[in-house]
Amino acid sequence: MKEIVVHPFKPIFNKDSKILILGSMPSIKSREEGFYFAHPQNRFWKVLSAIFNQEINNSVQDKTNFLLSHHIALWDVVKSCEISNSQDASIKHYETNDFNQILSHAKIKAIFTLGKTATRLFRASTNLDCIPLPSTSPANCAVSLDKLIDEFKIILKYLN
């Protein structure tokens, strides 16, 4: 069933953020839980925990503090769209977020997009460069956790 969804979360960033990670649109589970990458099978938080070699507690505040302490800004490409369930490939009639609210206040060195849809929609709506990373979604089960961790290590070079 398709529904119109408006992005429910504010971006996470501060003036010290150096990288921006963009997903596409929060999943149903994330919208229910009120925070990014809340589906228990989504590997986003496991990947970040592994590349920084630091445990991330499950609370919204702990995850936010983790991101900010590592100079990571987090948001999504899509502000509103028509979508079926949580399927990125079904996104239609979308409007993108205004990334200047982050870019004008933080010293972003690199923008990373998660998955093919986020990359395609970001590139279609801006003239900004982005570095595509594989989706951490459970729907992207063809990519192993080890492969995700290896791919995500590129963000470390922009944090120094």
pLDDT exceeds 90 at position 130: yes
Least confident of 51-65, 82-96, 123-137: 82-96
Per-residue confidence (pLDDT) for residue 141, from 0 to 100: 81
**Rounded to whole angstroms, how far apart are CA atoms 2 and 68?**
34
Q: What is the mean pLDDT of residues 35-41?
A: 94
Instruction: Write down all domains in the chain, each with its CATH number in brackets.
Output: 2-158 (3.40.470.10)
Per-residue confidence (pLDDT) for residue 17, from 0 to 100: 98
Q: For residue 150, report the phi and psi dihedrals to the nearest 5 degrees.
A: -60, -45
Confidence tier at 132 by pLDDT (50, 70, 90): very high
pLDDT exceeds 90 at position 84: no
Task: Give tens-digit pLDDT for 3-24.
Answer: 888 989 999 999 999 999 999 9
pLDDT exceeds 80 at position 1: no
Sign of the dihedral defined by the CA atoms of residues 104, 133, 127, 79, in that order: negative
Per-residue confidence (pLDDT) for residue 72, from 0 to 100: 98
In 3D space, the residue among 123, 110, 112 whose CA is nearest the CA of residue 158 turns out to be 110
Cβ atoms within 10 Å, residue 41: 11
pLDDT exceeds 90 at position 110: yes
Confidence tier at 142 by pLDDT (50, 70, 90): confident
**pTM of structure:** 0.95
Per-residue confidence (pLDDT) for residue 91, from 0 to 100: 85
